[in-house]
Amino acid sequence: MVKKIERSEEEWKKILTPEQYAILREKRTEMPFTGKLLANKEKGTYNCAACGQEIFASDKKFDSQSGWPSFYDVISSDSIELVDDNSHFMHRIEVLCGSCGSHLGHVFDDGPKPTGKRYCINSAAMQFEDKE
């Protein structure tokens, strides 16, 4: 089970950078092709930048050409929470951190085999942990 973390928005504001806060807590999206983890090919895990929960592993990362770091699977299904997102006149599935509830990105059904999923995640919402 993933440990649930709750903090007030005031606390998050103190802990996170303004860019991280805008994405993780206000569900903003970073500009495509700008994130520092987009081209990262090191071995390790991608953790929630707000609480450190491990979300993705480098062996499931792929180049989706979308401009955002993309993965075709999560490390564990309880490390995330999926919610319907009907903002911006579309229906999308939002990916939240299963531990602290922060916004990470969205998941789409046009990913590669074997899952067919494309987790499209903001670079600034994650912290890379080198595990070489």
Residues designated as active site: 120
Minimum distance of Fe ion from residue 99's CB (angstroms): 5
Q: How far is CA 87 from the centre of its chain?
A: 18
Residues of this chain that bind Fe ion (CB under 5 A): 48, 50-51, 53, 97, 99-100, 102
Q: Which is nearer to Fe ion, 10 or 116 (CB)?
A: 10
* 18 neighbors 104 (Cβ within 8 angstroms): no
Q: Which is nearer to Fe ion, 1 or 90 (CB)?
A: 1
Minimum distance of Fe ion from residue 49's CB (angstroms): 8
Gap between the Cα atoms of 124 and 24, Å rounded = 8
Gap between the Cα atoms of 46 and 5, Å rounded = 18
Gap between the Cα atoms of 32 and 55, Å rounded = 21
Minimum distance of Fe ion from residue 43's CB (angstroms): 22
Q: Which is nearer to Fe ion, 4 or 43 (CB)?
A: 4
